[in-house]
Amino acid sequence: MPLLIGPLAHPLLRARLAPQAVEAGTVAGRLRGGGMAGIAARGWPMLEPGQGALPVWRTDWTPALRRYAAIFALQLQERDGQELLGLGEPAEDAPEWQPDLAAAIAGRLLDLPKDRSAEAVRRRLPMIATWVASRLRAEAENPGLPHVGPDGSPRARIRSVAEPYAAYFSVEEIRLEQRRNDGGWTGPLLRAVFVSGDATVVLPWDPQRDRVMLIDQLRAGPLARGDAQPWLYETVAGRIDAGETPEQAALREAVEETGIAISRLIPAPHNYPSPGAVAEYLYLYLGIADLPDGSAGLGGLASEDEDIRAHLLPRAELTRMALAGEIRNGPLLNLTLWLELRHAAIREELAAGGSGLPPSGAGV
C-alpha cells in the first residue's frame, strides 16, 4: 500500500484520487520543489534529508490513483522500508503550488476516455492544463453572472461533452439545450468548439519615438484557407501557460518572440475573437518599451519551431495601414484603433507617473 506524500497528500487531490486514504504518521525530511505538481509532467517535489516531519497518508491503489500515477509517470520511492508516492523531479523556477488548479486538472484527466494511453495523455498535459486554467480563470472573472434567467431558472443545460479530436489543440462536442427568448426550450443542440485555451496579446509601443514593433510569421489558418500571403503582420502573442497570469505571459512572450523587455503593461479591452466556434479568450495589452533603431530582428523559440521577424513602424503608419484595410490580424487591428484613440491619454498618464500595470491576478 503506497503512502501519499507532499502535494499528492493534499486534501483536494486525495478526495479525487484516494478518498479512503488514512493518516499514517510522518516521514522525516523536507521537500524541494513541487510548484508544478499535478500541473506539468515534471513538477513533483524531491524528498531531501533535513529537519522536519512530513505527513503521509496510506491508501489502496484505486483505479483513479493508478490512472493518475501512470499519466504523470509517478513511481513508488522507498524510504526506510516505506513506499512513498508523490515524489519526482522538480521543475526549475517553479511558482508557488496551486492546489485548486492541480485538483481541477486531476478531474479533467480522469474524465478523459480510458482507452487513451497514459503516454498519449501525458504528451498533451501542457494543453490540457492550459485549458483547465482557462476555465478556472473564466469562473473567477465572472462570479456574479450565473447562467440563469430573470426567474432564476437556467438559460442553458449542458447534457454531455465529448472530445472527438485531441492533438495539440482539441475539439469538444457539446450537447445542450437552450432556453429561448420567448421562454420555451430548444430541442437537443450539438455544437462543436475548437479548444485552444486563453492567450495573451501585447503590442510594444515606444511613446518617446512614437513607434511600435510588429512581428510576422507563417500562420496555418490563412495557409489552409488558400491565402497567397499567410505571413501576417501581428502582435506579440502566445498561450497563457497553466500556473502563470496573463500579465506574466505577455512579458514572457515579448522576450521569447522579440528579445525586448516590456517595462509596463496597459490593459486594452479583452475579448473573444470568434465566440461562435472557438473557445479562446484574448487578453490584450499595450506594452511600453524602448524601441531604438536596430532593436528589430529575428526571434522565436527553436523548441516550438517559431520563425519570427520583428519590424519597427511609426504609430501613425500603423494607423494608416489599419484604416486602409492592410492589417488583417484581428488582435492587431483592435489594438491599433484602440491606441489611436487612447495614445494622448496614455501619454498623460505616463507623464504623471502612473504605473500602467493592471492588478495582479491569480496565476491559473
Active site residues: 304
The edge-to-edge listing of strands for the beta sheet with 156-166 is 156-166, 170-178, 189-195, 278-279
| Residue recorded with cell 522507498 | 78
Tell me the β-bridge partners of 193: 172
Nearest Cα to Cα of residue 329 among 194, 193, 215: 215
Judge whether 107 and 15 are in contact, CB under 8 Å: no
311's CB contacts (< 8 A; 6+ apart) are 213, 214, 215, 216, 233, 296
Find the DSSP H helices in the chain.
11-17, 63-71, 99-111, 118-123, 125-141, 220-225, 246-258, 315-323, 330-351
Length of the chain, in residues: 364
Q: Is 237 annotated as a binding residue?
A: yes
Instruction: Report in angstroms the alpha-carbon separations of 206 from 153, 202, 292, 299.
Output: 50, 13, 9, 19
Please say whether the beta carbons of 306 and 217 come within 8 A.
yes
257 is in an annotated binding site: yes
Helices then strands, counting H and E runs in the chain, come out as 9, 17
Which has the closest alpha carbon to 325: 201, 207, 233, 223? 233
Give the residue ranges of the annotated binding site: 237, 253, 257, 306
**Annotated binding residues for Mg(2+), as ranges?**
237, 253, 257, 306
